């Protein structure tokens, strides 16, 4: 299966005299390792036996499927251009708060955070009591590295409904508190979340705070839970959580045996 890749790796003259071949080989190895670590076995097969194209397809279709600014942070909302046009048409004719909210969710999923913020604010202007709009604006501001602005929005929603968005709003609040340096408060929220949900996003970030507080055994327990649960989760969930599973593996590898 790996004959094609191995042949190129052992052809030192070709690698050293052709920079393009060297770059593509390194890129292909990078994508192959990523595919294997994330258990994308079919992709790993095609990358290993192919040359260049398979790795490029994997990069754009899987590795870059979610922008880095929002990778691992999911919100509802389709990402298609068709959906954006539909919502823009509905806003033009009806100008309803929930249309602006839905458009903001699409932009958030695409990593277009400035546009998402504008849409969320337009939604709140039309319905200031909507929890989803306020919570999603808070998450957006957090990803824009403006945690001080995000905090009052997220705190208000969590106070009104601690279970909002199935715990995702509370997770965003915990991340906000961490960003603001209030790690003790963040730990309390993370512990509450992990007692009620098995989100890798929560367990990994709680483990990171445990490590920062010199509590490696607590961190180890959370990380082991993430890796133990991963093989038994649905495929769509595993794709969404792979960034956290990968981080869990990295953290465990740094812990003393």
Domains recognised in the chain with CATH numbers: 3-63 (no CATH), 69-177 (1.25.40.10), 198-257 (no CATH)
In terms of Cα–Cα distance, which of 131, 148, 250 is closest to 200? Answer: 250
CB 93 within 8 A of CB 55: no
CB 76 within 8 A of CB 105: yes
Q: What are the angstrom distances between the C-alpha of 86 and each of 25, 67, 81, 124, 233?
A: 42, 23, 9, 20, 33
Query: How does pLDDT run across 85-95, given as a tens digit for each residue?
Result: 899 999 999 99
Mean predicted lDDT score pLDDT of the chain: 85
Percent of the chain with pLDDT over 90: 59
Residue predicted with more confidence, 70 or 149: 149
Of 25-29, 38-42, 148-152, 232-236, the one with minimum mean pLDDT is 38-42
**Would you place residue 33 in the very low, low, confident or very high pLDDT band (cuts 50, 70, 90)?**
confident
- Residue 116: HSE in the Cβ half-sphere, 13 Å Cα cutoff: 27
> Burial of 140 by CB count in 10 Å (0-12 exposed, 13-18 middle, 19+ buried)?
buried
Percent of the chain with pLDDT over 70: 82
Say what the pLDDT of residue 164 is: 96
């Amino acid at each position: 299966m790996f004959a094609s890749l191995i042949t190129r790796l052992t052809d030192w003259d070709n690698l050293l005299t052709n920079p393009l071949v060297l770059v593509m080989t390194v890129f292909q190895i990078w994508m192959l390792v990523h595919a294997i670590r994330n258990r994308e076995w079919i992709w790993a097969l095609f990358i290993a036996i192919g040359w260049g194209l398979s790795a490029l397809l994997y990069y754009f279709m899987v590795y870059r499927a979610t922008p880095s600014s929002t990778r691992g942070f999911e919100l509802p909302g389709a990402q298609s251009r068709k959906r954006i046009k539909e919502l823009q048409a509905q806003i033009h004719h009806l100008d309803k708060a929930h249309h602006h909210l839905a458009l903001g969710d699409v932009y958030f999923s695409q990593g277009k955070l400035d546009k998402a913020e504008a849409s969320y604010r337009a939604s709140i202007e039309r319905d200031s009591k909507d929890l989803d709009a306020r919570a999603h604006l808070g998450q957006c501001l957090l990803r824009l590295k403006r945690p001080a602005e995000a905090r009052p929005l997220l705190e208000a929603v969590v106070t009104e409904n601690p279970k909002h968005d199935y715990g995702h709003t509370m997770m965003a609040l915990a991340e906000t508190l961490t960003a603001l340096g209030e790690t003790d408060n963040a730990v309390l929220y993370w512990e509450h979340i992990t007692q009620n949900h098995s989100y890798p996003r929560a367990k990994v970030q709680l483990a990171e705070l445990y490590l920062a507080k010199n509590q490696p055994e607590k961190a180890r327990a959370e990380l082991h839970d993430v890796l133990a649960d991963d093989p038994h989760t649905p495929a769509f969930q595993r794709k969404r959580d792979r960034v956290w599973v990968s981080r869990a593996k990295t953290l465990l590898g740094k812990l003393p045996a």
